[in-house]
Amino acid sequence: MASRKHTATNDDPVQTGTRPQPGHMPAQHLAPDEQEADLELKPRFMAPDYQGSQKLLGRVALISGGDSGIGRAVAVLFAREGADVAVAYLSSDEDADETCRHVEEEGTRCLLLKGDVRDRAWCEQAVERTVQTLGGLDVLVNNAGFHKHADSIEAIDDERLRETWEINLGGYFRLTRAALPHLKRGSSIINTGSVTGLRGSAHLLDYASTKGAIHAFTKSLASNLLERGIRVNAVAPGPVWTPLNPSDLPAQEVSEFGRDADMKRPAQPEELSPAYVFLAAPACSSYITGIVLPVTGSVGSI
């Protein structure tokens, strides 16, 4: 019997990469004490077809939220490009150890820094330990983030509001302030924004607001640091398969995660990390500062 050619339907996830990425997510909610290691469908962070070419050789990067998800994928690719990596994280020791193991397998050094970005003193210590242990600091990736869906603005009390802002924007401010004395001409700061900061999000009112603020912070800081030769850019991801959403959404909604992107699937972290390499490496982006780079799986930029 002649084989029948598969015809794409409107429901099929769009594939454009070197290997097909998962289109349907499992209906799995993560409990508060669970982490990336507990996800049934493991996020893909290895970017197996990405060849390093020493674009970050001899550089030192500090990545907040580097234990899992996007941050983990960035840590691995930075290491593949020759950077030593400090991985800052809140609590998921098993995830952090796994990230560190992969960084070291790429042939560079990894430093784990456990603590809360709401704590100014800890942010300062994290930077100091990076500089003392790894010999400097060239790239700061502000990436630690928190969100919790809420049906209405009335469901977000002041405590929640403060928590979201203190982690998402406050953490970026504090780590940047601590890092700046060590950054020099050619250094780079990369902030993780979000498509929700570009488009808004009906059920992430506080979170989307912080992401819009992060985009404004990125552009403002880029202007402020221009004369010092330090570039500041943001990446605005669309839906990405990481612990963030399964920790927040009910299982049934997790199974639909990413279906509303034009590509009808979420990104895997390995589809985000090359954008961070691009913005970190002077060889790629020495003439780019103050941009918000959308990596959204949807057509166009906003």
Does 39 bind ligand NAD (CB under 6 A)? Our answer is no
For residue 124 the two structure tokens come to 């300062």
Told to check if 90 binds ligand NAD by CB under 6 A, we report yes
Tokens of 161: 């509001």
DSSP 38: G
- Map residue 256 onto helix, strand or coil: coil
CB atoms within 10 A of CB 123: 25
Integer Cα distance of 69 and 6 in angstroms: 32
Residue 144 binding ligand NAD, by CB under 6 A: yes
Determine which residue in the list 59, 61, 68, 174 makes contact with ligand NAD, applying CB under 6 A. 68
Contact predicate 68/242, CB 8 Å: yes
Using CB under 6 A, pick the residue from 52, 65, 82, 290 that binds ligand NAD. 65
- Pattern of binders to ligand NAD over 227-266, x per CB under 6 A? ----------x-xx-xxxx---------------------
Output 90 or 180, the one with its CB closest to ligand NAD: 90
Residues 6 or more apart in contact with residue 127 via CB below 8 angstroms: 62, 137, 175, 178, 179, 182
294 is an interface residue for ligand NAD by CB under 6 A: no
The distance of closest approach from Cβ of residue 102 to ligand NAD in the complex, given in angstroms and rounded to an integer, is 14
Cβ 145 to ligand NAD shortest distance, Å? 2
Nearer to ligand NAD, 114 or 229 (CB): 114
Beta bridge partners, 233, equal: 190
Distance CA 276, CA 272 (A): 7
Tell me if residue 207 is catalytic. yes
Catalytic-role residue among 50, 89, 172, 207: 207
Residue 285 interacting with ligand NAD (CB under 6 A)? no
Distance in Å, CB of 173 to ligand NAD, minimum? 13
Contact 77, 50 (CB under 8 A): yes
Cα 69 to Cα 242: distance, rounded to the nearest angstrom:
5
Instruction: Verify binding: residue 34, ligand NAD, rule CB under 6 A.
Output: no
- C-beta separation of 68 from 243 below 8 A: yes
Site residues for ligand NAD, 109-138, by CB under 6 A, read: 116-118
Q: 210 near 168, Cβ under 8 Å?
A: yes
**Least distance from ligand NAD to the Cβ atom of residue 53, Å:** 25
Residues with a known catalytic role = 207
Point out which residues bind ligand NAD (CB under 6 A). Answer: 64-65, 67-71, 89-90, 92, 116-118, 143-146, 167, 192, 194, 237, 239-240, 242-245
